[in-house]
Structure 1
Amino acid sequence: MTDRTLHLPVAAQPSVESLVDLARLGEDCGYERAWLPETWGRDAVTVLTRIAAETDEIGIGPSIANVYSRSPALLAQTAVTLQEVADGRLRMGIGPSGPAVVEGWHGIDFDRPLRRTREYLDVMRAAMSGETLNYDGQIFSLAGFRLRCDPPEEPVPIDAAGMGPKSVELAGRFADGWHATVFTPEGLEERLDDLRRGIDLGDRDPDEVRTTLSLTACALEDGERARELCRQHLAFYVGAMGTYYRESLARQGYEEEANAIAAAWASGDQEKALDLIPEALLDDLGAAGTPERAREELRKFEEIDGLDAIAVGFPRGASPAEVEETIEALAPDR
């Protein structure tokens, strides 16, 4: 059975408390975990700390913390501390993000993202174990670090995000799970083959590697409004967030549409970019419409063999009330 989790809104919210309220609502509605993105708004660590303090059962985690803006030792310390605050409910999500974020916002060269992710996994696990850290990698050479607190009683699982074949293979080989985003059902199944190849290369138990898909969803009584919000969200990610999403869609059979959307956005014609998104693409990448239609679209992803959890996400333009309506409409018990 595929679990349902929440991918809290990537768009700016009125306050930290509003994000805490959404996590509380998710807990009340039976969602297993609240994932929090970290982009250009509030940092994930502070908000997750508040969520952990104000909830009792729902799991928490960043999706994702990028592997450039914090050192691996610092991220390990952060994970240990969050695990303590959350009474064992933390699951980390890490990944390279992309050049637009890493270079444009943080001023760091987007160098060897796969190797960097691999070394972050190694260093974080060693640091969180409580043993003295001695590590000699291609990127990091570290010695002498040791926690000045007890390691967590419940080890912190670390998932890796990725969109391309090699990054997904890496997740299968070295991480505790894979975070997927912007995938069609067919595209996800193809990448799951890469994940299984990584699991085989790492000689690992497939049951120990968890797959989570972040899926943009909007379930409103005004179904057309829901679909328009998701269309705006998709156009923004394809047009404004670098090449990763466009290249991923191209690999999934939507190369012509992805390039046309990006070109229209780059020329300043956002309305044209929206018009270039066909209904089939909207249905292939999310669950949008009336509650009945959104639940039906969600089910086709839940039926994919090898997908363990769907993280219900929300379009950028959705109001807090529309986010709440969607959380309630797509609750696991509905």
Structure 2
Amino acid sequence: MNARPDRWGLTIPLAGLPLREQRDVVAALPDLGYTDVWTGEAGGSDGFTPLVLASQWAPSLRLGTAIIPAFTRGPATVAMSAATLAGLAPGRFALGIGTSSDVIVRNWNGIGFDEPYARVRDLLRFLRPALAGAKVDHEYPSFAIRGFRLPEAPEPAPPILLAALRPGMLRLAGREADGAILNWLTADDVRTVAPHVRGQGRPDAELVARIFVLPDVPAEQAREVGRRAIAAYLNVPVYRGFHEWLGRTELGPMWTLWAGGDRRGALAAIPDAVVDSLVLHGPAESVREQVRAYVEAGVSTPVLMPLGVGDPVATVRALAPR
């Protein structure tokens, strides 16, 4: 594989090291060849604070949220947070939004998870004019905004990307956003997903993919960690639906056992081949080559997600592009 991606991202904050102690490693990322840092927002750090720090620790890095849930903040609050970060890093911030999941939204935040497609679509349609500095007074199908305007709109306005799994959201990302954020898929899956985004008259739409990595970890240990991560995510309804759509029937026994309460049996039922394709492991050079396969398949921005085994700083250095 000879693909040399223009971008090489990393998920922050790194597991196993307090955020307050990550300044040196973030500051060193550009010299190591990393171009981007991206955050998530589930049950750990919020999606904005680590990027605010990174904007000062490494002023050349591109910053991105992957993702900010559409339900857990009000639309104006999302706009204000995004504008603040875009102002700290002009031209270097991308706002990723998405539905998140019923677990995070309903179970953890006590918020209804109703009509997620409509909520994300409407948030996108609100954010476009709001981040451009327009006064927004509009009734969207899923919420109403009355007389909101940012006092200082960012210049330039940040691109907006949508977390997308299945065709409806993927096509929305290609049609109305600046691209899509992908998660929990193989390099081959990218070839299935990409046309839904780029077939909307946007062949240059960005595809950001979070890629789970465990470099220099023995295969047995990597598969054990990978199975736990797969079970935690792919039994969530939105991710199960995604992999059913992709045709990953080999996960059927896991879904059945998990639904029946047999957690141990569900873990054991995940085939090695599925773990190996969704959680990249082996020597660091092999992992880098596997990441490049995503780029060859159509990913614009690979974003590495180390799964927290071993020294996080050593992992970052081992996976630096070469």
TM-score under structure 1 length normalisation: 0.87
Q: Tell me how far apart the structure 2 counterparts of residues 58 and 34 of structure 1 sit (CA, whole Å).
A: 7
- Per the alignment, residue 306 of structure 2 pairs with 314
- Per the alignment, residue 232 of structure 1 pairs with 228
The AA in structure 2 aligned to 1:132 is: K
- Per the alignment, residue 325 of structure 1 pairs with 314
- Per the alignment, residue 243 of structure 1 pairs with 237
- Note the C-alpha offset of 1:135: 2.1
Q: Tell me how far apart the structure 2 counterparts of residues 146 and 194 of structure 1 sit (CA, whole Å).
A: 33
The AA in structure 2 aligned to 1:7 is: T
Aligned residue for 1:190, secondary structure, equals helix
The AA in structure 1 aligned to 2:203 is: P
The AA in structure 2 aligned to 1:104 is: N
Structure 1 residues 191, 7: CA separation in 2 closer, same or farther (over 3 Å shift)?
Answer: same
- Note the C-alpha offset of 1:272: 3.3
Q: Which residues in structure 2 correspond to 1:130-145 (within 5 Å)?
A: 130-145=133-148
Verify the 8 A CA contact 2:97 2:161 in the aligned structure 1. yes
Q: Tell me how far apart the structure 2 counterparts of residues 289 and 224 of structure 1 sit (CA, whole Å).
A: 10
Q: Tell me how far apart the structure 1 counterparts of residues 302 and 189 of structure 2 sit (CA, whole Å).
A: 15
Structure 1 residues 21, 104: CA separation in 2 closer, same or farther (over 3 Å shift)?
Answer: farther
Q: Tell me how far apart the structure 2 counterparts of residues 26 and 146 of structure 1 sit (CA, whole Å).
A: 36
- Per the alignment, residue 215 of structure 2 pairs with 219
- Per the alignment, residue 171 of structure 1 pairs with 173
Aligned residue for 1:253, secondary structure, equals coil
Structure 1 residues 19, 247: CA separation in 2 closer, same or farther (over 3 Å shift)?
Answer: farther
- Per the alignment, residue 206 of structure 1 pairs with 203
Q: Tell me how far apart the structure 1 counterparts of residues 217 and 105 of structure 2 sit (CA, whole Å).
A: 39
- Note the C-alpha offset of 1:97: 0.7
The AA in structure 2 aligned to 1:298 is: V
Structure 1 residues 172, 274: CA separation in 2 closer, same or farther (over 3 Å shift)?
Answer: same
Structure 1 residues 53, 10: CA separation in 2 closer, same or farther (over 3 Å shift)?
Answer: closer
1:57 aligns with 2:60: yes
TM-score under structure 2 length normalisation: 0.90
Q: Tell me how far apart the structure 2 counterparts of residues 282 and 9 of structure 1 sit (CA, whole Å).
A: 24
1:185 aligns with 2:187: yes
| Structure 2: runs of 5 or more not aligned | none
Deviations along 1:149-180, one digit per CA (max 9) or x if unpaired, are 2x222221111001111111110011111000
Q: Tell me how far apart the structure 1 counterparts of residues 286 and 121 of structure 2 sit (CA, whole Å).
A: 40
- Note the C-alpha offset of 1:14: 4.2
Verify the 8 A CA contact 2:13 2:50 in the aligned structure 1. no
* Pairs aligned (count): 318
Verify the 8 A CA contact 1:223 1:290 in the aligned structure 2. no
The AA in structure 1 aligned to 2:213 is: A
1:159 aligns with 2:151: no
Of residues 213-222 and 14-23 in structure 1, the stretch that sits farther from structure 2 once superposed is 14-23
Aligned residue for 2:246, secondary structure, equals helix
Deviations along 1:59-108, one digit per CA (max 9) or x if unpaired, are 11211000001112211111111111224321111001111111111222
Counterpart selection for 2:12 from 8, 14, 17: 8
Aligned residue for 1:44, secondary structure, equals coil
Q: CA RMSD in A?
A: 2.2
Aligned residue for 1:93, secondary structure, equals strand
- Note the C-alpha offset of 1:311: 0.8
Q: Tell me how far apart the structure 2 counterparts of residues 46 and 108 of structure 1 sit (CA, whole Å).
A: 22
Verify the 8 A CA contact 1:127 1:146 in the aligned structure 2. yes
Q: Tell me how far apart the structure 1 counterparts of residues 206 and 177 of structure 2 sit (CA, whole Å).
A: 9
Structure 1 residues 116, 300: CA separation in 2 closer, same or farther (over 3 Å shift)?
Answer: same
Deviations along 1:1-25, one digit per CA (max 9) or x if unpaired, are 53221123686x4422245455334
The AA in structure 1 aligned to 2:176 is: F
| Structure 1: runs of 5 or more not aligned | none
Of residues 37-46 and 216-225 in structure 1, the stretch that sits farther from structure 2 once superposed is 216-225
Q: Tell me how far apart the structure 2 counterparts of residues 262 and 21 of structure 1 sit (CA, whole Å).
A: 42
- Per the alignment, residue 102 of structure 1 pairs with 105
- Note the C-alpha offset of 1:57: 1.0
